[in-house]
Each structure stands twice: as C-alpha cells, then as structure tokens.
Amino acid sequence: MGWVVAEVAGRGFADVLREAVENPDVLAEPQGLELARFLENRNFVIELSPIVIGQAPRPDDELGVGRRYAWQTPALRDAVKMALEGRV
C-alpha cells in the first residue's frame, strides 16, 4: 500500500486521499477528480451510479460508502489509512 501513498503524494494529492479515507465523496469534488480516476483505475474505489447499480446505496461510514463514491472494501480503505499513517 505504500506505493499508492507514495504515488498519490508525488502527484500532490496526499491530503485529499486522507479526506477520502474518511469521506469518499470528496472524490466527487473538483480537488478530488484526478485522484478519483487514479484510484478507480487501480480498483480502490468505485463511482456509485444508480444507472449502473440500479439504485443509490445508503452511505455507511463504517464500510467506506458515500453517496457518490465507495471504497471497494473496508479492508482496502483501512490499508490505505494505515499506509498514510506510516504503519505499513
């Protein structure tokens, strides 16, 4: 996971990634769009689209699900958080 944090930090998005760990919907905001594409291309997050998934899921902080974006798994989000904190 350290490589993701290093790559994101190198692109100047470490602060946005920290926010996205707590609130994935920050990725839908202008400062998060480039990071969203980076994370989507590596299957870390998914953009939630009612057209694609049939309905909008309920936001769930514990699972890392927002209104517009969700982490693929809580474990992946937690691994990113640990890497940001330098614990891995």
Which pLDDT tens digit goes with each residue over 28-83?
999 999 999 999 999 999 999 776 667 777 899 999 999 999 999 999 999 999 99
Amino acid at 85: E
Whether the CA torsion 80, 40, 37, 25 is positive or negative: it is negative
pLDDT at 80: 95
The rounded distance, in Å, linking the Cα atoms of 43 and 47 is 10
Angle (CA) 84 86 88, round 5° = 100
The rounded distance, in Å, linking the Cα atoms of 59 and 70 is 9
Report field, pTM of the whole predicted structure over 0.85: yes
Whether the CA torsion 63, 22, 26, 16 is positive or negative: it is negative
pLDDT at 18: 96
pLDDT at 81: 95
pLDDT at 53: 65
pLDDT at 86: 87
